[in-house]
């Protein structure tokens, strides 16, 4: 299959939306388009699993390459391995769910769905790119539509949040670009190249790596809420409209983790080992700080936003540990958190649409009034706190086991500290669930609420299916990503030898 | 000989013909309507553009004073296209103006001057072309006759240009004194970097710096841009700047090749100062023309980063960026011209809630601003990052990091306008602006240019291949 369909389909859908004015037509086109995306990625999964090489090596499959800017050696080079494929599946699920929960987007609906689909095209393009310049192109393409999404359809101090988010993320990608240009000009074979595979097979010298790793790592790290550059997360997430929050937390934050893994770690393995202690310390701070900060929040969106800081901390934490299990855990955490946080934001959106408040203290007893939504809420909460059977448990467990394979004092201390955050997570999740869902019904009006409509149910079920699949049968995703993580480990061990 | 003359100089000759045609029409006191004149000139400019693409040629005439080749032809075509777009955009403004014919006389004279400047293979020829392009410009700046600011701007323009020209002449005479030649190829061969030549080079760079408004020679820019009529401002910021940048690059790359290290350091410092100053001043402007003046200063800083690459990629990135800049900046100015001639409003705060009344114009302005800010998938992204990439080839990572971070500052102020248009609500937004046929064509060309030039790599590859 030609992977470029993953970019073309969302782009065509986005353009197809433009001639229409009525919400009914627009949302149907958007739904059809995002369902086609999911179908496409499922077909891709099937083809991938049937591929004889998929389980053997971490090589990129379904490669295709077109020359783009030939004098500068920029190619539209695409290909996937298990890690990219799991990200593609995540994107397809979240986008479809996002379209479903925006079913009643009356305000400027055409523009809304256009931008949402444009974002998804950027995300797919990013995950399939094997040329770092093209990857960078898609990375930036997945940022600026967010400014409009948050600024126009958002709530609260939306303009402030939108500006802050875009400036921080674009600043981050500027750093990424400096790192990429450094790799381009310092390729040891002399030829300037942006090709990810060529760069990874023949990594630059140790000095070059140590100089440019911080640019690439901090740049991508900002997307993953690297402490102390996480401040865009709470504002951005909480001001954004539901679908944008889902995309932002579910996919955008994964762009960073994926970039750290693919570009920073794979191309600059020597520097990754050199800087690993800093990565571990910073991500451990993010994990702890995020979870404690969540305890103080009273707004449901802020709760999920700060807990995202803590949860995505595990991604960088796992990568910093540099063991196979921990890196696999980090990848699973990306998928798991993507699904979980999208589900959480979706359900918060549903609750808000009915109660018109997101303050925990002002709600109570929703289970009696809107049982379906409340159940989804509880599932999202339990996934977040890492209950076995859901995906969060698998991911965090793998990160912890993987990090325990390191015996250094720093590694042990950081792991113990990070583990402690689970308790804090349980506190804030259970408190929110207890107040909002359980207990006496806060207002009589709650009984007039309509429980989830078909589109909301479908969105929730899609995401929950993903969460439960990972939680119940973790070997599925583990088998999928194992060759990819194996390949990364080979690069890492080759550099330390 | 005559055939050479006719083919090699066809663009220049065509322009001269148009200028004389206008002159005769004027003197013959034929009472033509402004619309007729405009349509006629636009049609003729289209012919000039087409002629530029038709025949390939290269060669030198007039005792090696005038040269032309495929690259120069492309540069001239770009300038003609830009002038045509501006001419289409000024439809609304000129329709009511008493002196439309004179405006075209002046504008085409400056264009002619730029053509001669580009084709110059000799410092004297270059200087003549430059003067021919500058003096009518000052008159154009003064073209809003009943606005005091406009004549003030014209005066500032003429004084600062005269000063810059003086500096250039001073430098030229020193160069002549030390090398005994004013021929470009002769100069390139006999420069040795002696202190006198260094001094001459500094004055030359200062002269060029004035023309492209690089810091610290930028002080005239904001006032002149603000005072001039909007079409003239766009002409100043795109066409005249673009032409001088082309010449500047080719002079630096070919004539001063031997002094590479010296000029690299100079360009490095000027680029950093220009980016930072332009960006910081643009942050707090409310008048759109002043705003675009400072943002165009910042853009020049980025272009200097590309030039500092001293490579084929650097020259290609610069020409490619100017092409994109023509489309992006003219799209922005096109919208501003329409709004300004319909309502007289030119402040950012006037654009609050612009989306409520003019969704199409808002999207065009937004696309233009995204392109100026370097956001994919617009062409500006490629233009800007190719400039930075070319600069990075020298391995000066400080410069590259500063440039990359400056993009964020510039993004902030471009987003301010986007925010005002889309997000801020206004009980009484600007009235619906109607778009006549000519500006509509101009905007369509610009938007198509912004969306296509980047994603379709043909333009860049063509430029790169011409630079061999």
- Structure confidence by residue, pLDDT tens digits, B337-370: 899 888 888 888 889 988 888 889 999 999 999 9
A131 and A67 in contact (C-beta within 8 Å)?
A: no
Q: How far is A267 from chain B (nearest CA, A)?
A: 19
Residue scoring higher pLDDT (A368 or A217): A217
B430 and B346 in contact (C-beta within 8 Å)?
A: no
Nearest CA in chain B to A212: B397
Residue B29 has pLDDT above 90, yes or no: no
Residue from B373, B405, B457, B468 to probe the interface with A (highest A Cβ count within 10 Å): B457
Instruction: Enter the tokens of residue B188.
Output: 């390139």
Q: How far apart are CA B318 and CA B316, in angstroms?
A: 5
Q: How far apart are CA A153 and CA A403, in angstroms?
A: 41
What are the residues facing A65 on neighbouring strands?
A77
> Is A140–B381 a contact, with Cβ atoms under 8 angstroms apart?
yes
The answer for B428, left when phi > 0, alpha when psi is -120 to 50, beta otherwise, is: beta
Q: What is the pLDDT of residues B144-161, one digit of tens each?
A: 888 888 899 999 999 999
Mean pLDDT of A373-388: 90
For residue A105, what pLDDT band results from cuts at 50, 70 and 90?
A: confident
Q: What is the pLDDT of residues B194-222, one digit of tens each?
A: 888 899 999 999 999 998 998 888 889 98
Mean pLDDT of A98-111: 88
In this structure, of A196-200, B312-316, B450-454, the range with the lowest mean pLDDT score is A196-200
Residue B383 has pLDDT above 90, yes or no: yes
A81 and A58 in contact (C-beta within 8 Å)?
A: yes
Residue B56 has pLDDT above 80, yes or no: no
> Is B412–A148 a contact, with Cβ atoms under 8 angstroms apart?
no
B313 touches chain A (CB under 8 A): yes
B461 touches chain A (CB under 8 A): yes
Q: How far is A281 from chain B (nearest CA, A)?
A: 26
> Is A72–B313 a contact, with Cβ atoms under 8 angstroms apart?
yes
Integer angstrom CA distances of residue B466 from B311, B313, B462 = 14, 12, 6
For residue A203, what is the DSSP state? P
B71 and B462 in contact (C-beta within 8 Å)?
A: no
Residues from chain B contacting residue A140 (CB–CB below 8 Å): 375-376, 381
Q: How far is B376 from chain A (nearest CA, A)?
A: 5
In this structure, what are the phi and psi dihedrals at residue B122, rounded to the nearest 5 degrees? -160, 140
In this structure, what are the phi and psi dihedrals at residue A158, rounded to the nearest 5 degrees? -65, -40
- What proportions of chain B, in percent to the nearest 5, are helix, strand and coil? 80, 0, 20
- Residues whose CB falls within 8 Å of the CB of residue A39, separated by 6 or more in sequence, listed in order: none
Report pLDDT for B30.
Answer: 65
Residues from chain B contacting residue A114 (CB–CB below 8 Å): none
- Write out the H or E segment, with its range, that includes residue B462: helix B458-466
Q: How far is B451 from chain A (nearest CA, A)?
A: 14
- Residues whose CB falls within 8 Å of the CB of residue B466, separated by 6 or more in sequence, listed in order: B70, B71, B74
The answer for B353, left when phi > 0, alpha when psi is -120 to 50, beta otherwise, is: left
Report pLDDT for B427.
Answer: 81
Report pLDDT for B132.
Answer: 92
Residue B468 has pLDDT above 80, yes or no: no
Q: How far is A167 from chain B (nearest CA, A)?
A: 6
Nearest to A195 by CA among A177, A179, A173, A180: A180
Residues from chain B contacting residue A19 (CB–CB below 8 Å): none
Count CA atoms within 13 Å of residue A478 on its CB side: 15
For residue A195, what is the DSSP state? B
B46 and B14 in contact (C-beta within 8 Å)?
A: no
Mean pLDDT for chain A overall: 89
Q: How far is A210 from chain B (nearest CA, A)?
A: 14
| Proportion of chain A above pLDDT 90, given as a percent | 49
Nearest CA in chain A to B377: A141
Q: How far is A199 from chain B (nearest CA, A)?
A: 17
Report pLDDT for B63.
Answer: 81
Q: How far is CA B387 from the centre of its chain?
A: 17
Q: From chain A, which residues contact B within 8 Å (Cβ)?
A: 68-72, 136-138, 140-141, 144, 147-148, 151-152, 158-159, 162-163, 166-167, 170-171, 174-175, 177-178, 181-182, 184-185, 211, 215
Q: How many residues does chain B have?
A: 468
> Is A152–B313 a contact, with Cβ atoms under 8 angstroms apart?
no
Q: How far is A201 from chain B (nearest CA, A)?
A: 22
Residues from chain B contacting residue A159 (CB–CB below 8 Å): 419, 423-424
Residues from chain B contacting residue A167 (CB–CB below 8 Å): 408, 411-412, 415
> Among B377, B389, B412, whose Cβ lies nearest the Cβ of A141?
B377
**How many other CB atoms sit within 10 Å of the CB of residue B35?**
14
Distance in angstroms between the alpha carbons of the first and the last residue of chain A: 38
> Is A170–B370 a contact, with Cβ atoms under 8 angstroms apart?
no
In this structure, of A49-53, A226-230, A483-487, the range with the lowest mean pLDDT score is A49-53
Residue A279 has pLDDT above 90, yes or no: yes
Residue from B384, B419, B424, B453 to probe the interface with A (highest A Cβ count within 10 Å): B419
B349 touches chain A (CB under 8 A): no
Q: How far apart are CA B451 and CA A11, in angstroms?
A: 14
B401 touches chain A (CB under 8 A): yes
> Among A148, A170, A211, whose Cβ lies nearest the Cβ of B411?
A170
> Among B381, B400, B415, whose Cβ lies nearest the Cβ of A163?
B415
B388 touches chain A (CB under 8 A): yes
Mean pLDDT of B70-95: 91
Q: How many CB pairs under 8 A join A and B?
A: 86
> Is B397–A71 a contact, with Cβ atoms under 8 angstroms apart?
no
Say whether the peptide bond before residue A228 is cis (omega within 30 degrees of 0).
yes
Residues from chain A contacting residue B360 (CB–CB below 8 Å): none
For residue A133, what pLDDT band results from cuts at 50, 70 and 90?
A: very high
Q: How far is B288 from chain A (nearest CA, A)?
A: 20
A320 and A336 in contact (C-beta within 8 Å)?
A: no
Q: How far apart are CA B372 and CA B407, in angstroms?
A: 10
Q: What is the pLDDT of residues A176-193, one digit of tens each?
A: 999 999 999 988 887 888
Q: How far is A68 from chain B (nearest CA, A)?
A: 6
Q: How far apart are CA A244 and CA A456, in angstroms?
A: 16
B422 touches chain A (CB under 8 A): yes
Report pLDDT for A496.
Answer: 67
B184 and B248 in contact (C-beta within 8 Å)?
A: no
Q: How far apart are CA B251 and CA B313, in angstroms?
A: 16
In this structure, what are the phi and psi dihedrals at residue A43, rounded to the nearest 5 degrees? -60, -40
| Proportion of chain A above pLDDT 70, given as a percent | 100
B377 and B446 in contact (C-beta within 8 Å)?
A: no
> Among B376, B411, B465, whose Cβ lies nearest the Cβ of A137?
B376
B415 and B348 in contact (C-beta within 8 Å)?
A: no
For residue B431, what pLDDT band results from cuts at 50, 70 and 90?
A: confident
B447 touches chain A (CB under 8 A): no
Report pLDDT for B258.
Answer: 84
Mean pLDDT of B175-198: 88
> Is A147–B405 a contact, with Cβ atoms under 8 angstroms apart?
no
Give this complex's ipTM: 0.92
């Amino acid at each position: 299959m030609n992977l470029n369909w993953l970019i073309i389909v969302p782009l065509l859908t986005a353009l197809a939306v433009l001639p229409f004015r009525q919400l009914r037509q627009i949302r149907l086109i958007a739904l059809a388009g995002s369902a086609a995306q999911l179908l496409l990625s499922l077909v891709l999964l099937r083809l991938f699993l049937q591929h004889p090489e998929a389980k053997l090596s971490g090589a990129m499959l379904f490669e295709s390459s077109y020359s783009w800017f030939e004098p500068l050696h920029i190619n539209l080079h695409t290909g996937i391995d298990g890690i990219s494929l799991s990200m593609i599946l995540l994107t397809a699920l979240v986008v479809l769910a996002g379209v479903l929960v925006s079913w009643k987007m009356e305000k400027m609906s055409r523009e809304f769905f256009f931008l949402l689909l444009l974002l998804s095209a950027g995300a797919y393009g990013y995950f399939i790119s094997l040329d770092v310049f093209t990857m960078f192109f898609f990375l930036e393409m997945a940022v600026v539509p967010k400014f409009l999404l948050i600024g126009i359809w958002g709530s609260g101090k939306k303009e402030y949040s939108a500006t802050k988010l875009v400036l921080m993320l674009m600043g981050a990608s500027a750093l990424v670009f400096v790192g990429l240009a450094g790799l381009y000009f310092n390729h040891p074979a002399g030829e300037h190249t942006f090709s990810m595979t060529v760069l990874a097979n023949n990594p630059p010298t140790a000095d070059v790596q140590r100089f440019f790793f911080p640019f690439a790592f901090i740049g991508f790290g900002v997307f993953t809420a690297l402490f102390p550059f996480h401040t865009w997360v709470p504002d951005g997430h909480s001001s954004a409209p539901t679908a944008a929050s889902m995309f932002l937390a579910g996919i955008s934050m994964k762009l960073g983790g994926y970039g750290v893994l693919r570009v920073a770690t794979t191309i600059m393995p020597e520097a990754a080992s050199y800087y690993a202690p800093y990565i571990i310390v910073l991500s451990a701070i993010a994990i702890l700080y995020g979870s404690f900060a969540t305890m103080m929040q009273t707004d449901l969106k802020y709760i999920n936003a700060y807990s995202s800081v803590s949860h995505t901390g595990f991604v960088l934490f796992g990568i910093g540990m540099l063991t196979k299990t921990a890196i696999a855990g980090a990848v699973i955490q990306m998928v798991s958190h993507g699904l979980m946080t999208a589900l959480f934001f979706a359900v918060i959106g549903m609750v808000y649409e009915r109660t018109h408040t997101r303050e925990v203290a002002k709600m109570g007893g929703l289970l009696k009034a809107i049982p379906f939504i409340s159940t989804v809420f509880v599932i999202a909460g339990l996934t977040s706190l890492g209950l076995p059977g859901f995906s969060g448990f698998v991911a965090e467990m793998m990160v912890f086991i993987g990090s325990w394979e390191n015996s250094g004092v720093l590694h042990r201390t950081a792991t113990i500290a990070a583990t402690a955050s689970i308790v804090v997570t349980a506190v804030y999740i259970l408190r929110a669930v207890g107040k909002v869902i359980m207990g006496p019904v806060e207002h009589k009006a709650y009984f007039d609420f309509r429980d989830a409509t078909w589109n909301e149910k479908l969105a929730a079920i899609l995401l929950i299916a993903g969460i439960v699949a990972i939680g119940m049968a973790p070997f599925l995703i583990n088998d999928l990503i194992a060759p990819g993580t194996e390949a990364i480990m080979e690069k890492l061990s080759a550099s330390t030898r | 000989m005559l055939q050479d003359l006719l083919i090699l100089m066809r663009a220049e000759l065509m322009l001269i013909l148009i200028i004389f045609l206008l002159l005769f029409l004027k003197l013959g006191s034929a009472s033509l309507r402004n619309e007729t004149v405009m349509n006629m000139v636009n049609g003729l400019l289209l012919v000039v553009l087409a002629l530029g693409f038709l025949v390939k040629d290269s060669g030198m005439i007039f005792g090696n004073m005038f040269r032309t080749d495929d690259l120069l032809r492309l540069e001239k075509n770009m300038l003609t296209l830009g002038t045509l777009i501006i001419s289409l955009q000024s439809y609304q403004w000129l329709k009511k103006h008493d002196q439309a014919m004179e405006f075209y006389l002046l504008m085409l004279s400056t264009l002619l001057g730029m053509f001669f400047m580009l084709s110059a293979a000799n410092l004297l020829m270059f200087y003549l072309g430059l003067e021919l392009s500058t003096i009518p410009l000052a008159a154009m700046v003064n073209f809003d006759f009943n606005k005091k600011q406009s004549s003030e701007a014209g005066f500032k323009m003429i004084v600062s240009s005269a000063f810059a020209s003086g500096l250039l002449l001073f430098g030229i005479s020193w160069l002549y004194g030390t090398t005994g030649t004013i021929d470009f190829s002769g100069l390139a061969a006999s420069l040795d970097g002696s202190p006198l030549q260094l001094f001459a080079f500094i004055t030359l760079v200062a002269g060029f710096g004035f023309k492209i408004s690089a810091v610290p020679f930028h002080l005239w820019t904001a006032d002149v841009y603000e005072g001039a009529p909007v079409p003239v401002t766009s002409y100043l910021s795109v066409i005249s700047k673009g032409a001088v940048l082309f010449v500047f690059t080719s002079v630096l790359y070919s004539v001063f090749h031997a002094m590479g290290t010296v000029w690299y350091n100079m360009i490095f410092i000027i680029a950093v100062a220009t980016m930072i100053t332009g960006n910081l001043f643009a942050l707090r402007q409310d008048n759109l023309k002043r705003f675009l003046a400072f943002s165009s200063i910042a853009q020049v800083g980025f272009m200097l980063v590309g030039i500092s690459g001293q490579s084929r990629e650097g020259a290609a990135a610069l020409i490619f960026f100017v092409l994109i800049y023509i489309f992006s900046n003219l799209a922005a100015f096109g919208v501003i011209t329409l709004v300004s001639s319909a309502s007289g409003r030119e402040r950012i705060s006037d654009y609050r809630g612009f989306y409520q009344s003019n969704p199409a114009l808002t999207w065009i302005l937004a696309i233009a601003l995204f392109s100026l800010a370097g956001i994919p998938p617009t062409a500006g992204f490629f233009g800007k990052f190719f400039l930075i990439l070319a600069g990075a080839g020298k391995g000066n990572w400080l410069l590259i990091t500063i440039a990359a971070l400056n993009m964020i500052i510039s993004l902030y102020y471009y987003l301010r306008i986007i925010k005002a248009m889309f997000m801020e609500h206004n009980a009484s937004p600007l009235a619906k602006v109607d778009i006549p046929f000519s500006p509509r064509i101009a905007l369509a060309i610009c938007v198509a240019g912004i969306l296509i030039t980047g994603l379709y790599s043909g333009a860049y590859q063509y430029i790169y291949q011409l630079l061999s």
